[in-house]
Amino acid sequence: MKPHGDIAQQQANLIVTSTLLMLLIIVPVIFLTLYFAYRYRQSNTEATYAPDWDHSTRLELVIWGAPLLIIIALGAITWISTHKLDPFRPLDRIAEDKPLPADVKPLEVYAVSMDWKWLFIYPEQGIATVNELAAPVDRPIRFKLTSTTVMNTFYIPALAGMIYTMPGMQTELNAVINKAGVYDGMSAHYSGAGFSDMRFKFHGLTDADFAQWVQSNKAAGASLDRQAYMKLEMPSTKEPVQRFATVEAGLWSAIVDRCVDGRKMCASQMMAIDAAGGAGKGGVAATMRSPWRDLNGERRERTVVAALCTPTNLQGLPLEALPYEAQPN
């Protein structure tokens, strides 16, 4: 209830306002309940005794009118706030008394919830981190979020509300941090054995400190290509902070499309084929078994739809079987 991000502050104010409006009904009802119990107790012979009383227009207006006005007020506030605090809506201010400068470009961060860790990709800076997030103070942040296997919830209480991450889908969150510091981030949706350790630190930094943080990642990090991502995707718990100095181009799109390894058909390709009428009987057979290891290291397999024409699954085919664009000159 004491956040340091403008979106979270507005959400906290909404909770306080709604609570106070509801207390306008709750407090008098509690008070009158205790008052009537005391006033009309059996031992109080001075209280008015009216066993045949059954109606009062004035009392009915109060009983129904006051809650109705409160509900109308709550409905209006909810309607306005739902649109104003829409996580997909770009920010129009940094804080209550700070309008958004026209020349400020939002910091883009791609967030991937894994089993059981968080991967953050900075496309503008060309770096990535695991279980560590940083952003400059008073600069809008545009998060794009997805998941690898199951639903999770991206949640930094000091920054903004909870946003779900789902495999094969991209959600969005626009927020800003207004005070430098280190804040807790977590998954707030149960996702299996390592859920309780699926936490990270969010650093609110000055512009100079953020630039230094980026440079430190580039200096000490490895390269996040598709092979590195496939290893990172395997289930693990209590994963330490990792830094990547470079990120392979197109990796984020492949993550959302669920075809990082190059052997599976991308979700967008599958949807395009379905939209065109399907792949016929051949599409039914175009599946393969993909190896997978669980948290205990046990080897498992899962059925996936094979990609149609990629360098991975074209190897070994006779020349006449290759599509024209894949044949060598």
Beta bridge partners of 300: 292
* Residue-wise pLDDT tens digits, 149-207: 999 999 999 999 999 999 999 999 999 999 999 999 999 999 988 999 999 999 999 99
CA distance 156 to 249: 28
* Residue-wise pLDDT tens digits, 225-271: 999 999 999 999 999 999 999 999 999 999 999 999 888 888 888 88
Please state, for a pLDDT cut of 90, what percent of the chain lies above it.
66
Angle, to 10 degrees, between the axis of helix 6-39 and the axis of helix 57-84?
Answer: 170
- Residue 43, token pair as written in the block: 């031992």
Neighbours of 274 (CB within 10 A): 11
> Looking at residues 32-44, what average pLDDT do you find?
92
- Residue 179, token pair as written in the block: 């005070």
135 vs 81, 107, 140, 173, 269, CA distance in Å? 25, 8, 9, 14, 34
Is the pLDDT at 11 greater than 90, yes or no?
yes
Of 180, 236, 253, nearest to 213 (Cα)? 180
Q: Are 199 and 184 in contact (CB under 8 A)?
A: yes
188 vs 14, 79, 113, 236, 278, CA distance in Å? 21, 25, 11, 18, 38
Residue 173's pLDDT is 97
pLDDT band with cut points at 50, 70 and 90 for residue 279: low
Residue 281's pLDDT is 55
pLDDT band with cut points at 50, 70 and 90 for residue 26: very high
Is the pLDDT at 72 greater than 50, yes or no?
yes
Pick 27 or 321 by higher pLDDT: 27
Q: Are 151 and 159 in contact (CB under 8 A)?
A: no
Counting beta carbons within 10 angstroms of the beta carbon of residue 197, is it exposed (0 to 12), middle (13 to 18) or buried (19 or more)? middle
